[in-house]
Amino acid sequence: MKFTKMHGNGNDFIVIEDFERRYLKNQENIAMELCHRNFGIGADGVLFVRNTDEADIEMVIINSDGSYAAMCGNGLRCFVKYVYEKDIVKADLINVKTGDGIKSVEIKGENGITQHIKVNMGNPSFDYKDIPLSENKTLIDYPIIIKNRNYNITTLRMGVPHTVIFGELKDFNIEDGKDIETNEIFKEGTNVNFCEIVNRNHIKVITWERGAGPTLACGTGNCASAFAAKTLNLVDNKILVEVQGGKLNILIENNHVFMIGNAEFICEGNILMDL
């Protein structure tokens, strides 16, 4: 199997071309094998490149534990860089079908290489049905007790469910995200973002990703954190998000979130697998 490994701010992915949908029925097991950091290539997830009649191209994301992810911001930037630089889709505006709908991505390239990727991540939702929650509640700065610990959480759907907790990063243990992820109020679990406000244009975020655990970056988590902070009037509409793996710029306009950054190739090759 041919593969390409990429990363967006340290959030790493294996990209597999699957135009004939050869791997569709076995994609969960393939992802778990490929993503294993001792017995496989090692990654947070696999991005399958597939054709579609509904957009220019389709991206399917499978997490390292074999679970399906509707959307991933860092993964989408890697995916778009891949299809652009591999001449699969050569355009300044690429429409990508995802599990969270069609995402429009603007490309600024030079000599066939992406320099700037701007993703319209859409309009986040606090509706309990969209997240989804087990109770009819709006979780904005909402007090909750999880395993005898007090949190004030803000939960929204930014492509996938995200819960944001504000404070100083030194006071958080990233492993606490596991207990929050699996709380019964979250019908499909939740990603968990611990967010520190540096100033009105700068935040720091660490993320526990549903289906992957701690990651160096999470694109949808960065967007969710910025939008939650804006909702609570903690930041302005242009926000630099600093994560362990790098930085992203987030722009909020008319309740739409735009993610601006790039992605990087790591390596390419072949891996032997029993399919």
Q: What is the pLDDT of residue 274?
A: 80
> What is the H or E stretch that residue 257 is in?
strand 256-261
* pLDDT, tens digit, 9 for 90 and up, residues 114-169: 999 999 999 999 999 999 999 999 999 999 998 888 999 999 999 999 999 999 99
Q: What are phi and psi of 197, to 5 degrees?
A: -85, 115
Catalytic residue status for 218: yes
Whether 212 and 43 have beta carbons less than 8 Å apart is answered as no
- Whether 187 has a pLDDT exceeding 80, the answer reads yes
Q: What is the pLDDT of residue 212?
A: 85
* pLDDT, tens digit, 9 for 90 and up, residues 21-56: 999 999 999 999 999 999 999 999 999 999 999 999
Catalytic residue status for 72: yes
Question: Is 157 annotated as ligand-binding?
Answer: no
pLDDT band of residue 201 (cuts 50, 70, 90) is very high
Q: What is the pLDDT of residue 147?
A: 81
Average pLDDT over residues 225-242: 98
Q: What is the pLDDT of residue 80?
A: 97
Select from 3.90.1660.10, 3.40.50.11810, 3.10.310.10, 3.40.50.300 the CATH code of 2-121+261-270: 3.10.310.10
CATH fold of 142-254:
Diaminopimelate Epimerase; Chain A, domain 1 (3.10.310)
- Whether 275 has a pLDDT exceeding 80, the answer reads no
Question: Is 22 annotated as ligand-binding?
Answer: no
Task: Cite the beta strand spans of 70-222 per DSSP E.
Answer: 93-98, 101-110, 113-122, 142-146, 149-158, 160-166, 191-199, 202-209, 213-215
Question: Is 63 annotated as ligand-binding?
Answer: yes
pLDDT > 70: percent of the chain: 100
CATH 3.10.310.10 region(s) of the chain?
2-121+261-270, 142-254
Reported pTM: 0.89
Q: What is the pLDDT of residue 98?
A: 97
Looking at 72, 78, 195, 223, which residue is catalytic?
72
